[in-house]
Amino acid sequence: MITCKGFNEYRLLDAGDEEKLEDWNGIILRRPDPMAIWPKMKKELWHDADAAYHRSSQGGGHWKFFKDLDDHWTIDHKDLTFKISPTNFKHTGLFPEQAANWDYIYETISKHQDQDIRVLNLFAYTGAATMAASKAGAKEVVHVDASKGMVAWAKENMHLSKLDDHLIRFMVDDCLKFIQKEIRRGRKYQCIIMDPPSYGRGPKGEMFQFKDQINTLLSSCKELLADDALFMIVNSYTTGYSATVLENVMRSHLDDLSGKIISDELGIMIEGTDVALPCGLTTRWERV
């Protein structure tokens, strides 16, 4: 398992009974997590939550606030700053387990600043990976997401991270359609990052389903890789698949390229314990 390190303003305080208790820069949030099926270990801490997300039997859910909170605040990770806000679909605008990937992106691009590195971030959400790549010195980062609201949030993160003078292109588009347009334009990228959803819709109602379209997605993205490409990262939160499955899919499309493929779980250590909360999968091809 790959666990995030160096995240001083985020802490996983406890997890269990299908919930997790997190400290987001001093704000304590209690959220559902179906992976945490073991008993809670630090029951005395759970009464300190500032807000809790409750699922509805009809689907969705709502936040219950135990104290007055601002509708958003910020959190730092190294040289980056992100906006945090409890959303109606339980998320906060940031997946802290992805910090391991942000660090890899930053370190890898930083080592190749002599190259003109172009980065494509697909299903890019609020842009943490976008900001890591840009901060590291990428010549251009193209950020693509189907949600206009998420792209607007990513622009806020760009301002917070003081990257306004960097070349970041924000695109509200269906990712598969955007890839095909880039292929026709003859565009190439040294780095490709993607977080495809289990299910999703494009801005015009285009349907994306992971199991049906992941192969099309990867084969198309391979056409966008430059001859001097550094890496391709694929993250997945789709239940029912293992890191081996994701590695097999990646290998079937990229195994003829010079490099290696690494696949593993992402996780977060519960503070003060040896217990890790699994938080999805990551697979990457990297040139060696």
CATH number reported for the structural domain that contains residue 175 in this entry = 3.40.50.150
Asked if residue 91 belongs to a domain, the reply is no
Query: Which domain-ending residue is among 33, 51, 78?
Result: 78
Is residue 110 domain-shared with residue 230, that is, in the same domain? yes
Selection from 202, 128, 121 nearest residue 163 by Cα:
128
Query: Which domain-ending residue is among 21, 51, 78?
Result: 78
Cβ proximity of 287 and 258 under 8 Å: yes
Average pLDDT of span 186-215: 87
Average pLDDT of span 12-22: 98
For the record, the structure tokens of 252 come out as 């079937």
For the record, the structure tokens of 171 come out as 């695109």
Average pLDDT of span 106-111: 97
Cβ proximity of 154 and 125 under 8 Å: yes
Q: Does pLDDT of 202 surpass 90?
A: no
Is residue 66 domain-shared with residue 168, that is, in the same domain? no
Is residue 60 domain-shared with residue 135, that is, in the same domain? no
Q: Does pLDDT of 148 surpass 90?
A: yes
Alpha-carbon torsion angle 28, 30, 33, 35, nearest 10: 70
Tokens 């007055």 sit on residue: 68
Is residue 40 domain-shared with residue 110, that is, in the same domain? no
> What's the pLDDT score for residue 20?
98
Asked if residue 220 belongs to a domain, the reply is yes
Indicate the range of 32-41, 49-58, 60-69 predicted with least confidence.
Answer: 49-58
Confidence band for 57, pLDDT divided at 50, 70 and 90: confident
Amino acid identity for residue 43 in this structure: K
pTM here is 0.95
Asked if residue 197 belongs to a domain, the reply is yes
Give Cβ neighbours of residue 157 (< 8 Å, ≥ 6 apart): 80, 81, 82, 83, 126, 127, 128, 130, 131
Asked if residue 270 belongs to a domain, the reply is no
Domain count, the chain: 2
Q: Domain range holding 18?
A: 2-78
Cα(120)–Cα(140) distance, integer angstroms: 9
